Structure 1
């Protein structure tokens, strides 16, 4: 039985996980509260992201949500009751090593966020933490942090200036504005906008295209891009060369060269 079928039967799982065709699909599954993040949901999401990153059969990850929202932020009702995210930390400490934003940023596997609906606050930062965003026409990104008296707590202040520049990031964060899917495309926050009914199909098409490539090379490329954010060009070129040397010895590189010479599609095995 798939995770989705099991969740439908038990009604218990708030994060669904399944793997097919080298693609891991992680689905936030609390539609009755617009997939707002509770403490257990946060832990399950981080655990499944880590599982996907460590599974050699997984070559790409799709993150999405069930219902009309991708994630409407933190579950404020549980926070008010003392059972939310803050219950796991003291007023001066917060363990960030295994939280979804930190795990997402450290992942070598490519990640696609299929934004099926509203992504606000924590949900927006989580979507931005993925490598690629495909948005449904009805989806929105809501940077409502300052309207709630908080800062973008899950990576937005680090991600947005790098993604869209200081001026546009300032405008979005300081105003707490909500952007439609089409506005996200214009601002450079979405790769594509598609009709709602086509969202998962399009996300899977891109994931399959990624998964068809040499996984070790794809993961090394992502690793180098991440390192390059904080390196000088000479240091980065040196690290790229060091990353390239072990790839020369892989079966996948030999297969890629052979397939090119034989004018056929390569069959990569991740070794």
Structure 2
């Protein structure tokens, strides 16, 4: 008798600001504070960090989908929490001891597991920077990206000043940051900030399909490829090629490499095990 299919690991307590589910090698992380447009409080930020780390460390996870619940992806920091002393910034005793090593943008940048961000609605401020930390961005047609930092008297504090010049070039990045402009989904696609724009009701399924396609590839190779892309952002070409070769050698000794070759020769889908 066939063994029953494994049930997804899920945390669906609506009291939690971040939902986490693992099924079919895909971890889905959902910002779950729709009543405040998924604005980030201190506890929510810590929970999001923990879930990202958990997904990256789980050998069963091959791809992560990050999305939001409700009509917004994330409208930035929770200003009500800021006034009550329960936010990212107010949690520090002074501006000189903010520990940013374990916050979502830095954790996302260091992750080897690929991240698909399904932007289900508005992404502003901190929420906009979160989208930039993903490897692939899919936008619902109603989604908007608000680069509104300078309009609020601050700078993109969680990666925007690093990502945008690399994604768009200096001139376009400067235009967006210095004007604080808001982009529609189609404008974001035209600018190169999104891979695809889909109808709102199709977003979740499209993100799942893309994550499934990624998860069907050899996971060690996928993670190595992402790692090499990240390293290549700051390496000269000759050094980078050397590092890629050093990464290639152990991959060619894996069972998945042998399976990839066999499945190609036998004209069948591969069955990768991450070994």
**TM-score between the two structures when normalised by the length of structure 2:** 0.95
Q: CA RMSD in A?
A: 1.0
- Report the counterpart of residue 178 of structure 1 in structure 2: 182
Query: How much has 1:2 moved relative to structure 2?
Result: 6.3
- Tell me the secondary structure at the aligned position of residue 85 of structure 1: coil
Mapped to 2, the partners of 1:2 and 1:13 lie a distance apart of 15
- Tell me the secondary structure at the aligned position of residue 96 of structure 2: coil
Residues 180-195 of structure 1 aligned to structure 2 (within 5 Å) = 180-195=184-199
- Report the counterpart of residue 18 of structure 1 in structure 2: 21
- Tell me the secondary structure at the aligned position of residue 259 of structure 1: helix
Q: Which structure features the higher share of helix residues?
A: 1
- 4+ long deviations beyond 4 Å: none
- Tell me the secondary structure at the aligned position of residue 104 of structure 1: helix
Query: How much has 1:3 moved relative to structure 2?
Result: 3.8
Q: Could you tell me which of 64, 77, 84 is aligned with 1:61? A: 64
Q: Could you tell me which of 121, 137, 145 is aligned with 2:125? A: 121
Query: How much has 1:87 moved relative to structure 2?
Result: 2.9
Structure 1: gaps spanning 5 or more residues:
none
Mapped to 2, the partners of 1:245 and 1:190 lie a distance apart of 33
Residues 103-114 of structure 1 aligned to structure 2 (within 5 Å) = 103-114=107-118
- Tell me the secondary structure at the aligned position of residue 87 of structure 1: coil
Mapped to 2, the partners of 1:3 and 1:71 lie a distance apart of 22
Mapped to 1, the partners of 2:142 and 2:88 lie a distance apart of 29
Length, aligned pairs only: 267
Mapped to 2, the partners of 1:235 and 1:130 lie a distance apart of 25
Query: How much has 1:83 moved relative to structure 2?
Result: 1.7
Q: Report whether the alignment pairs 1:270 with 2:274.
A: yes
Mapped to 1, the partners of 2:59 and 2:269 lie a distance apart of 21
- Tell me the secondary structure at the aligned position of residue 138 of structure 1: coil
- Report the counterpart of residue 247 of structure 1 in structure 2: 251
Mapped to 2, the partners of 1:21 and 1:81 lie a distance apart of 40
Q: Report whether the alignment pairs 1:79 with 2:56.
A: no
Residues 70-219 of structure 1 aligned to structure 2 (within 5 Å) = 70-89=73-92, 90-219=94-223
- Tell me the secondary structure at the aligned position of residue 76 of structure 2: coil
Structure 2: gaps spanning 5 or more residues:
1-7
- State the Cα deviation string for residues 64-117 of structure 1 (Å, max 9, x = none): 000000000000111112221123322212101110000000000000000000
- Report the counterpart of residue 231 of structure 1 in structure 2: 235
Mapped to 1, the partners of 2:199 and 2:272 lie a distance apart of 33
Residues 24-35 of structure 1 aligned to structure 2 (within 5 Å) = 24-35=27-38
